[in-house]
Amino acid sequence: MTLMILMAIICLLGGLFFFATATIGLLRFPDFFTRLHATGKGDTLAVFLSLLGLAFYEGFSLTGLKIVIIAVFMFIAQPTATHAISRAGMRSGLTPWMKEKKEQ
């Protein structure tokens, strides 16, 4: 197996791992902001690693370069979109979740 194929497999498995953890965070966390944080961080890294893996698989070609450009764009755009969505949530009156204190 060549080094490029091995790097592609490693990046794709890393992307799969971060997609899975972001999905678990989406399902398990209690409110809008914590869910948004989990999916924003996890999906950004997952998409970046997955596209980087595809670029490694494609090799040094024009298609590989296009995939890397898309990956960089997504790495910049996704956190910006997550921030905009969270600000819209704050402006619409959503309040962050607070852990309830047990009375002793």
Q: What is the pLDDT of residues 38-64, one digit of tens each?
A: 999 999 999 999 999 999 999 889 999
Averaged in consecutive runs of 10 residues, what is the pLDDT profile of the chain (104 residues)?
90 96 93 91 94 92 93 93 93 84 68
pLDDT at position 97: 82
Give this prediction's pTM.
0.84
CA–CA dist 34, 53 (Å, integer): 28
Residues 11, 49: contact at Cβ < 8 Å?
A: yes
User: What was the pLDDT predicted at 59?
Assistant: 86
Tokens linked to 88: 């819209």
